[in-house]
Structure 1
């Protein structure tokens, strides 16, 4: 296998492989600048996630949350597979529309929108959008009275990586019925109810509770003359490679059958990390090391490693997404090797740039060693900045040939030629087993 360090291509690999093999290929042959961090993006992992979603929740139409990871190849892959999208800004809407996605496949899921954003949505035909207060309704009435509105209620999980209720959503019991009446008085078209239990949810029964609120509001809306047709169950779905959606899908499917057995009700969701978390692996390099000595014995009692990516770039997920990252060493180390308390810092001159504290790691880790981190596809690259002058990681894309053939067979006919010939500006390269 000869994997090249070329961001501008998608490499189709003839053999079964894994990310570690590709990392070794890139680092051992000097095809990358080892002083800069980089990602390996397994496109096939996204496709497998899409298959898993369809198999486990066939009634729930996924609208990928663009804010989670707006990588061009991610969006193009999902667009080609027929996925819909959750956008929160003019730029996100524009980016998705540029892929040939019809505006009907977009929900503008930001309850608090600027005036210019509402006007833009109107001009490009994105009619479905959320709201959670009366002032937003007044704004929409003035700027886009023909919009299809989805009322966002608040129903938060007790355990979630990122709670959203303190910023978005209305109380489902007291505020929501009043807002439905306000929308009715303004002659606005409310078409559904939405909620978001929190990003990275670990309290799956909360979906049943939230769907119960939706059912009650559907009935209240009917009393006002509305015929609601959309239930948006938001995001919160796990995406790491050691997690699945089996448990949450059972709860959601059972709850939908209980509260919304009517097939005319369209059920959508806004998964983000589910699709991309495990598809991206970050590879970093140790550029500096500092040993901390016991002042009495003069023995090393801990060590500090400095790597080429940090909290101002990919590891912003530690601050904003409350993620727990797990370092893995590319170089083999004996299980019996002596370990030492290790703190890993990013490259900037800010002491806040701290990634791992007090981990037990092999004492022999040295300059030039590679440390990689799995499950780094969610809320990393979109928020990264080149603070202090350090470059952002490049992204290298690959897919196994068997998966590539399957993807081509899944793509709608009208999108197939573009996908093959010009996949979002990336050329297709075949990596042969004999290369």
Structure 2
């Protein structure tokens, strides 16, 4: 379906647009700025066209958290390398990913998870690399992941020593400061910790995965460009004798895909200063119910509604279409005061964690994706 047809249809009340050119530009810029391997975090957006576009734009492989994500990558990007970087994996999935899918990179953050790898994987296989994920320390991330994963300093050293003593596997270190980390300092602090761990370890560490979490800008959350953060990281690595010899990698998701999709939701009811539209928190707008105010614009008759003095804006409360009272966006949105039933609201910057977490609650779903041509919505 073409965009011109979708924006005029009466057959459905919500659809996505996907802009491969924007995704390719963002990915290429990130890959060129990062002084190591860039792995795309599949969880941010698992659409097949996203995976293939990111791969074509230069990512070295994919960070997967489950066997299902690994199978998806294998099906959509044959031959691409995957890193199984979830610190909590079933024995079944560990064994299957090694045997059937050829995965050789795994992460642990406790003795119990390492015990599973030792029991399931051949300890003589020198192609296996096990990363020990350590607690990265203080973070300004919106979603701090250290409360769920991350070994202590002492436990990290013990795990590295066990791997070296009991296997032929190589070892790496990993951390993740959290999603939407808005400054470079948490990365730099964790990299300093990694350098100390390498100096103290009774094992040879060959790689460092600094995780993802690189931020994206939203209307209520301006952030520095990722390239400026990556430049600081590159300078730090170059200045560290312990780190500059390592294979360095990262796992961006949001920073690559946030700007490549919009979600168009038709206004199905206007009630004074409240609008009810064809998609809500269950249908792709969960990020807008939590922390983010998305850029928006209104459309009518196939064109954006112009903002003029005669067409003043007002703030609207935005609800989704379901019967759940929680189906309400966290922030009011400035939209044309003449907004009416049948108009469309375009929610921009929904490339990250929209498609991957939506569901068909109450029978409402977003089932159509329109791939845009070059500069079609600019």
TM value normalised by structure 2: 0.88
Q: Are the equivalent residues in 2 in contact too, given 1:157–1:201 (CA < 8 A)?
A: no
Give 1:253-332 correspondences, 5 Å limit. 253-260=234-241, 264-291=245-272, 303-319=273-289, 322-330=291-299, 331-332=305-306
CA distance in 2, matches of 1:100, 1:357: 38
Aligned partner of 2:186 in structure 1 is 206
Match of 2:198 among 218, 227, 235: 218
The yes-or-no answer on 1:187 pairing with 2:167 is: yes
Based on CA coordinates, which of the two structures has the bigger radius of gyration?
1
Q: Are the equivalent residues in 1 in contact too, given 2:171–2:206 (CA < 8 A)?
A: yes
Structure 1 residues 390 and 363 mapped into 2: Cα distance closer, same or farther (>3 Å)? same
Q: Secondary structure at the match of 1:229?
A: strand
CA distance in 2, matches of 1:261, 1:176: 17
Match of 1:45 among 18, 22, 27: 22
Q: Are the equivalent residues in 2 in contact too, given 1:132–1:152 (CA < 8 A)?
A: yes
Which structure would you say has the larger RCO, counting Cα contacts within 8 Å and 6 or more residues apart? 1
1:399 deviates by 3.9
CA distance in 2, matches of 1:380, 1:268: 25
Q: Are the equivalent residues in 2 in contact too, given 1:338–1:362 (CA < 8 A)?
A: yes
Q: Are the equivalent residues in 1 in contact too, given 2:171–2:205 (CA < 8 A)?
A: yes
The yes-or-no answer on 1:384 pairing with 2:358 is: yes
CA distance in 1, matches of 2:82, 2:364: 35
Aligned partner of 2:349 in structure 1 is 375
CA distance in 1, matches of 2:133, 2:370: 38
Which residues of structure 2 form unaligned runs of 5+? 300-304
Instruction: Give the CA RMSD over aligned residues.
Output: 2.4
The yes-or-no answer on 1:162 pairing with 2:147 is: no
Q: Secondary structure at the match of 2:329?
A: strand
Q: Secondary structure at the match of 1:252?
A: helix
Q: Are the equivalent residues in 2 in contact too, given 1:64–1:86 (CA < 8 A)?
A: yes
1:139 deviates by 0.7
Q: Secondary structure at the match of 1:311?
A: coil
CA distance in 2, matches of 1:138, 1:363: 61
1:337 deviates by 4.0
1:261 deviates by 7.1
TM value normalised by structure 1: 0.77
The yes-or-no answer on 1:119 pairing with 2:100 is: no
CA distance in 2, matches of 1:398, 1:252: 34
CA distance in 2, matches of 1:156, 1:200: 15
1:34 deviates by 6.1
Is 33-42 or 117-126 further displaced after alignment?
33-42
Which residues of structure 1 form unaligned runs of 5+? 6-21, 292-302, 402-430
CA distance in 2, matches of 1:100, 1:356: 37
1:400 deviates by 2.6
